[in-house]
Structure 1
Amino acid sequence: MLSRTADHLFWMARYTERAENTARMLDVNVQTAMLPQSDSDAEHAWRAILGISELQSSYDRKYAAVAPQDVIDFMVRDPSNPSSIAACLNEARENARAVRGTLTTEVWEIQNQTWLDLQKHLRSRQLEQDPSQFFEWVKYRSHLSRGVTLGTMLRDEAVNFIRLGTFLERADNTARILDVKLHGARDAGQGDESAKRDFYYWAALLRSVSGFEIYRKVYRDVITPERVAELLMLRADMPRSLLACMDEVVGNLREVRNEVSAETERLAGRLHAELQFGRIDDILRVGLHDTLTQFLQRVYELGNRVSRDFLVPLAA
């Protein structure tokens, strides 16, 4: 496959996944903002979302204070934010348009119609009136895109590069959410009120990755940070866990390997093995923050190596 074609497919998938992840985080914050909490706790939660996405400095340059509606507007449609939902869905559509001949008609129509419908949603002020419904729509369109891709496309290298983009982006996002939320929980304090807040805090984290019901099914007990970390890092049967994402990355890299990709496969395989055979007690002993920081660095390096070995190289 031509590297430019693979590049468009890879980034189409990454941008679609990024839009969904942003919608998930914003939706959870909108829901938890309705719970009793202090102004400082509410501001901390919105700042955490900006921090997860590395957008705090960009936001601060434009806004004097952290206000929920401003954060939502900035992360959904602000033209100065290249990671906004609108920007991501536009980039996904443009990448799909560049390789229309590689995609099935159904896959292209999903990407194109999503962008067209987004304009209608933003003009209708649905975002201001019912943000949760808008975020559900974004998630639904992402699910639809993945389903149509797997349901209509030939299982060849095109699908492999789409899956690579999806799961590298998902692994990065899951690690960021877990790391930032862990630090937020540590700052919450002690006491009965803190314990109640912690429950909603960790429940919100699980809901942001569609993991709340899964946690209840697997552990059947109170929510604890250690078990949340185990679920989101080490369980291969949790669809958005780090291990599940790396399962997909390793498998798809194997399918598209070429004469220069051996080191990239080795890096992915080592990262996968550490998760597959890791134990949460050992990770906590080393330090969860340090482990997640290192994981994010290695995923970033892995993404750069994929670009170097298969795609259009990233600008230096």
Structure 2
Amino acid sequence: MLSRTAGNLFWLSRYMERAESVARLILVGHRMAGVAHTVDLHTNEWRSTLRAAGCLPGFTEKYGACEPDQSQVFEYLVLDADNPSSIRACFETARRNARAVRTALTVEMWDAITDSWRGVQSLSRSDMEVDRLVPILEWVKSRSLAFSGAYANTMLRNEGYAFAHLGTTLERADNTARVLDVKYHLLLPDQEGVGGVLDYVQWQSVLRAVSALRAYQWVYHQRLQPWLVADLLILRPELPRSLLSCASQIVTTLDSLADRAGGRRGECHRLAGRMHAELRYSRIESIFQAGLHEFLTGFIDQLKELGAAIDQHYLAL
């Protein structure tokens, strides 16, 4: 497969998954903001959401150093063409990549991407009101899931599928780490509310953001506990969105690509293997002792390094 084709498949999958990730971050921020308002807790959930999405510097450059408000955050993360991680920009970039490799896509994949792009073009600032936006965010999630289902069920298991799956899995791991980090920034250990009803509802919101609330109940059979939520989202291989599960899929996919290339491996394979081994043999107690935030930011940095190594090994022209 040409590196240009592989790169387009890799990035269109990443951007489709990123659109869903941004939608999930906005939803968790919205739920936490509602709870904080109810109990009159003075925190800025929207700054936490922007920071977790990696969009705070761009937002500050555009709107200044003032505290973000809900309407500004909605518009910046959903519609703003100047924000490369906005939902509109993600769908538009994914479609551009898809058009470049139209013959490598199945009909179902192309339809999922095109329908998503058409739908986001119809959005306007008037849709950024909460009563309209929440259904739109659920629609964004459904479009990303439709695309993932399309390539999972219709693509040949060849290099094209491997690069699409690799892009999805990298982005999914990044999102899980960022959703957990929203909670860290929103309610630090010395703040009021830790361990109470507010804390409980916020951890529940984190699980809902990654569609893992029912999974938590199945695995642990007890009241929500912060260390168990982190354990589920970081170290449990059964959960498809856990960091360990994503790392395992990345290693498997890279190994399959190496086998197709006669066994040739590079730095990306070493980095993926190291990341997987660190997660596989970690304990949640040691992660909390070292600092959850430090662990999550370190993991996000590892993903960036891994993505650059994949680009260098497979996608560079």
Does the alignment reach a TM-score above 0.5? yes
CA contact (8 A) 1:188 1:198 kept: no
CA contact (8 A) 2:48 2:185 kept: no
Q: In structure 1, what is the Cα distance between the partners aligned to 2:237 and 2:189?
A: 30
* SS of 1:83 mapped into structure 2: coil
Q: Which residue of 2 aligns with 1:292?
A: 296
TM alignment of 1:114-193, pairs within 5 A:
114-120=116-122, 122-123=123-124, 125-128=126-129, 129-187=131-189, 189-190=191-192
Change (3 A) 1:211 1:309: same
Q: In structure 2, what is the Cα distance between the partners aligned to 1:40 and 1:131?
A: 24
Structure 1 residue 11: Cα displacement: 0.3
Which one is further off, 290-299 or 243-252?
Answer: 290-299
* SS of 1:278 mapped into structure 2: coil
Superposed CA deviations along residues 49-93 of structure 1, whole A, max 9, x for unmatched, are 100122222212322441101100110001211110000000011
Change (3 A) 1:290 1:62: closer
CA contact (8 A) 2:12 2:95 kept: yes
Which one is further off, 261-270 or 197-206?
Answer: 261-270
Q: In structure 2, what is the Cα distance between the partners aligned to 1:183 and 1:117?
A: 33
* SS of 2:152 mapped into structure 1: helix
Q: Which residue of 2 aligns with 1:96?
A: 98
Equivalenced residue count is: 309
Q: In structure 2, what is the Cα distance between the partners aligned to 1:271 and 1:199?
A: 30
TM alignment of 1:25-40, pairs within 5 A:
25-35=25-35, 36-38=38-40, 40=42
CA contact (8 A) 2:32 2:45 kept: no
Q: In structure 2, what is the Cα distance between the partners aligned to 1:38 and 1:276?
A: 40
Equivalent of 1:275 in 276, 279, 288: 279
Superposed CA deviations along residues 147-177 of structure 1, whole A, max 9, x for unmatched, are 1111111111101000110111111121122
Amino acid at match of 2:252: G
Q: In structure 2, what is the Cα distance between the partners aligned to 1:93 and 1:278?
A: 39
* SS of 2:104 mapped into structure 1: coil
Structure-2-length-normalised TM-score:
0.91
Q: In structure 2, what is the Cα distance between the partners aligned to 1:267 and 1:59?
A: 32
Matched, 1:301 2:305: yes
Amino acid at match of 2:313: D
TM alignment of 1:11-22, pairs within 5 A:
11-22=11-22
Structure 1 residue 108: Cα displacement: 1.0
Structure-1-length-normalised TM-score:
0.92
Equivalent of 2:270 in 255, 266, 273: 266
Matched, 1:311 2:293: no
Which one is further off, 238-247 or 60-69?
Answer: 60-69
Q: In structure 1, what is the Cα distance between the partners aligned to 2:192 and 2:121?
A: 45
Q: Which residue of 1 aligns with 2:58?
A: 58
Runs of 4+ in 1 over 6 A off after TM superposition: none
Amino acid at match of 2:236: R
CA contact (8 A) 2:13 2:168 kept: yes
Structure 1 residue 233: Cα displacement: 0.5
Q: In structure 2, what is the Cα distance between the partners aligned to 1:39 and 1:242?
A: 31
TM alignment of 1:245-264, pairs within 5 A:
245-257=246-258, 258=261, 261-264=265-268
Change (3 A) 1:226 1:304: same
Q: In structure 1, what is the Cα distance between the partners aligned to 2:53 and 2:81?
A: 16
Structure 1 residue 123: Cα displacement: 4.2
Q: Which residue of 1 aligns with 2:203?
A: 202
Q: Structure 1: any 5+ residue segments left out of the alignment?
A: none
What is the CA RMSD across the aligned residues, in angstroms?
1.9
Amino acid at match of 1:82: P
Change (3 A) 1:283 1:33: closer
Q: In structure 2, what is the Cα distance between the partners aligned to 1:105 and 1:253?
A: 26
